[in-house]
Amino acid sequence: MDIFIMLVICLMLGSGDAHTSSDGFIFDVRGRNQFGSRNANFNEAALEKARRLLRNRTLTVATIQRPPMTILQLNKEGDIVGYKGFCFEMLKTLMQKYDFKVRLVLSYDGNWGSLLPNNTWNGMVGMVNRTEVDMAVSGFTISHIREQGIDFTAAFHEESTAILLPAPRPRSKAFALIQPFSWKVWLALCAAVVGVTPVLHLISRAGEWTPALYPDPPEARPTYSHIQWFIFGGIIGHGDRCIPASLSSRVMLAFWWSAAVTIMASYTGTLIASLTVPTVADSIESLEELAFQDEIKWTYRIYSSMDNLFRSSGSAVFRQMATRYADSKVTTDYEGVDKVLTGEWAFIKERSFLDFALDEDFQRTGQCRLQIAAREFYTVGFGWVLQTGSPLKELFDLEFLRMSEMGLFGKWRGMYWPAPSNCSTGLIFTDVGSQPLALADLVSAFLLLALGAVLSTVVLAAEMVYRSACAGRR
């Protein structure tokens, strides 16, 4: 441990004038953890060889558009005319210190790199494997499959994989009148109305044999249909002038009205809340929920580490992700984002890119059209790609460690990661207040009115047919 501390101190003191502790950088715990398990006893002879190899040399470096790691500016011909991003800050620091230059080239096929069935590599991994370029710089997911053909640097960043989804849609108000209660409550309520009516009718008839304080004339006594409408009126807060006269019947009615008032108040309160406060449809929160539902389809990038993971895993969830929409994989990250914007797809990618894409869309449109699922999965480490046995690996590993210790990683994250917002955290979809009612909010009431008009017309027609039939018999 003492040797390690002395080595780090010596490296920080002898780091040259590119970056020093006098800049006031804060120690970055996240970066430190990614290197904590690595051996700090670097071979000085190998390091010196790498330094000489870099001096006054121009390296050919493959890269790809992958914000916030590598952000490229391209001209109309597709050539790189500008670049920035987290990885390029790392690269520029190394260039300043070791006095070398780079020539950036794009991935020849737009892919990161995957092992093909013929045991060759495509993408930037293939370019490095075939020594067409010296190395590849971006946020490459470190995997044992890729390490069969190239070497990775130490991981300079770790993050989880997330799911980009369409923004949740407001719930439809077409059935707002029945939404305050579940179907079980509605069933129980109908059973109560149907069941209480004959009970009250029997009690009313039995009560006719006992003296009443205010007896009704026979023609004013409630019939079964009167009692049925009276029970229904209690649910909607409407009384009737014709009520049973016996004390036993009125006791039954008192308890029915007590229950009806409770039901009516609960319904009214819930209905008002659902109409005045917007609610959104339930959203997908995890990969498991996404895999076993039919409303939202999913996609991910072909020939990516995610593609390899899903195809090679024995997990039932991962198998479902790999096979169900196997013909719908995208070839670029922004193609995946565009699919999500259609409202029918989800895009699976590392969290940093999804945060960047969500913020970019919000800045461009002023609307929260995207959201990220709450639960993430599959944490990955990012590294650069080097040729197998490259003498630069040990030097770059050491420099990444130094950058982390000096707080540069934290500084660069602050430069290129979008700041959290209500759109990225999802608060904008849940933190809503009351709003004026629109016509769409009351459409269920008008639908009910239309249904009543149609039903009454049908009943009127039936009555006319019945009266005509009775008149014909006479």
- What DSSP letter does each residue of 353-376 carry, written as one string? HHHHHHHHHHHHHSS--EEE-S--
Do the domains at 2-159+381-422 and 287-377 have one common CATH topology?
A: yes
Name the strand (E) or helix (H) holding 254.
helix 247-276
Q: What percent of the chain has pLDDT over 90?
A: 51
pLDDT at residue 434, as a whole number: 54
Give Cα separations from 156 to 33, 141, 173 (angstroms): 10, 11, 49
Closest by CA to 322, choosing from 334, 308, 335, is: 308
pLDDT at residue 296, as a whole number: 94
pLDDT at residue 21, as a whole number: 31
217 cis-preceded (ω within 30 degrees of 0): no
Over residues 330-349, the mean pLDDT reads 96
pLDDT at residue 229, as a whole number: 76
Q: How far apart are CA 364 and CA 255, in angstroms?
A: 61
Better pLDDT: 84 or 454? 84
Closest by CA to 254, choosing from 336, 320, 311, 196, is: 196
Residue ranges of the annotated binding site are 141, 146, 305, 350
- 151-205 pLDDT, tens per residue? 999 999 999 999 999 988 776 666 777 778 888 988 988 888 888 888 877 777 7
Q: How far apart are CA 251 and CA 230, in angstroms?
A: 15
Give 465's pLDDT tier (boundaries 50, 70, 90).
confident
Range among 187-191, 201-205, 249-253, 400-404 rated most confident? 400-404
Q: Say which residue the tokens 């391209």 belong to.
A: 74
Residue ranges of the annotated binding site for L-glutamate are 141, 146, 305, 350
How does 126-141 read in b/e, with b if 16+ C-beta sit within 10 Å? Answer: bbbbeeebbbbbbbbb
Give 215's pLDDT tier (boundaries 50, 70, 90).
low
Contacts of 58 (CB under 8 A, 6+ apart): 100, 101, 102, 103
Closest by CA to 347, choosing from 326, 330, 324, 369, is: 330
> Which of helix, strand or coil describes residue 154?
coil
DSSP 28-68: -HHHHHHHTTS-----HHHHHHHHHHHTT-EEEEEE--BTT
Give 352's pLDDT tier (boundaries 50, 70, 90).
very high
pLDDT at residue 37, as a whole number: 42
Q: Is the pLDDT of residue 72 over 60?
A: yes
Q: How far apart are CA 192 and CA 179, in angstroms?
A: 19
In CATH terms, the fold of domain 287-377 is D-Maltodextrin-Binding Protein; domain 2 (3.40.190)
Residue ranges per structural domain of the chain = 2-159+381-422, 172-277, 287-377, 441-474
Q: Which DSSP state fits 169?
A: P
Please check whether residue 322 is in contact with residue 304, taking contact to mean a CB–CB distance below 8 angstroms. no
pLDDT at residue 231, as a whole number: 78
Q: Could you give phi then psi for residue 152, rounded to 5 degrees?
A: -100, 150
Q: Is the pLDDT of residue 213 over 70?
A: no
Q: How far apart are CA 277 and CA 153, in angstroms?
A: 52
DSSP strand pairing (297-299 vs 345-350): parallel
Torsion of CA 144, 145, 151, 157, to 10 degrees: -60
- Mean pLDDT estimate for the chain: 82
The 10 Å Cβ neighbour count of residue 75 is 9
Q: Domain 2-159+381-422 carries which CATH code?
A: 3.40.190.10
pLDDT at residue 441, as a whole number: 66
DSSP 62-118: EE--BTTTBEEEE-TTS-EEEEESHHHHHHHHHHHHHT-EEEEEE-TTS----B-TT
pLDDT at residue 426, as a whole number: 66
- 114-128 pLDDT, tens per residue? 999 999 999 999 999
